[in-house]
Structure formats: C-alpha cells, structure tokens
Amino acid sequence: MIEFATEELLSGSADRRRAMVRRMAERWPGEPALALVYAVTSATENIADVTPEPGGDGSVVPLGYRLSALISADVHAVQSMGQIPSQAADLLHFWRRVDPLFLRLS
C-alpha cells in the first residue's frame, strides 16, 4: 500500500494523485481504514526524506500530508458513527452517503 501511494504521488499525473485515495480504498476494502492514512503518511515521509527542498519544485509532500489529514478526519467521522474498527470499505460507504470529496477526485 505504501509503494502504491508512493508511485501515485510521484507519477507526475494530477489525475492519478487525485484518484489515489479512492483507488486505495477500492483496491484494499478489507484493510483497516487507518491503514490508508498510514500508507499515505509513510509514502509522503519517504518522499520528503529524498526531496532536497520541500515544496520548492511542486513537491507532493504538502499534498500527501493534506490527504492523510483528510482521510484521518473521515476515519474519525466513520468511527464516531459506531463503525469501530472501520475498514476501507466503510470509507467508500461514507463517501457515497455523506462526503463525496474523494469520489469526485478522479
């Protein structure tokens, strides 16, 4: 999952970056929802470790951390509604019913 997130973030394709989180949830629906947060955060940190100047050349580091924060907020919302522990499939359901942001990003 970390490798997938790294590849998508570094792809150079805005479309792939925008669809990354949704594609991860679709690809690994049975995984814990927080695994998506962990994968995106880890991928972003790995990229930050090798990026000479964060944000200096259109770096994806800020985007990766922003996506991690947004996924975390959705996980919190899903778990606040009683779905504990939540899975990636629960995020897909939440996005269809409540907050379609990640479904629109494609």
Q: How many whole angstroms separate alpha carbon 14 and alpha carbon 18?
A: 6
Q: What is the CA radius of gyration of the chain?
A: 13
Per-residue pLDDT reduced to its tens digit, 72-88: 999 999 999 999 999 99
Per-residue pLDDT reduced to its tens digit, 13-31: 988 998 999 999 999 999 9
Does the pLDDT at position 103 exceed 60?
Answer: yes
Following DSSP, what letter does each residue of 28-87 receive, concatenated?
-TTSBHHHHHHHHHHHHHHHHHH-SSTTTTS-SHHHHHHHHHHHHHHHHHHHHTT--S-B
Q: How many whole angstroms separate alpha carbon 46 and alpha carbon 41?
A: 9
Q: How many whole angstroms separate alpha carbon 4 and alpha carbon 23?
A: 10
Contact (Cβ atoms closer than 8 angstroms) between residue 69 and residue 77: no
Pick 46 or 56 by higher pLDDT. 46
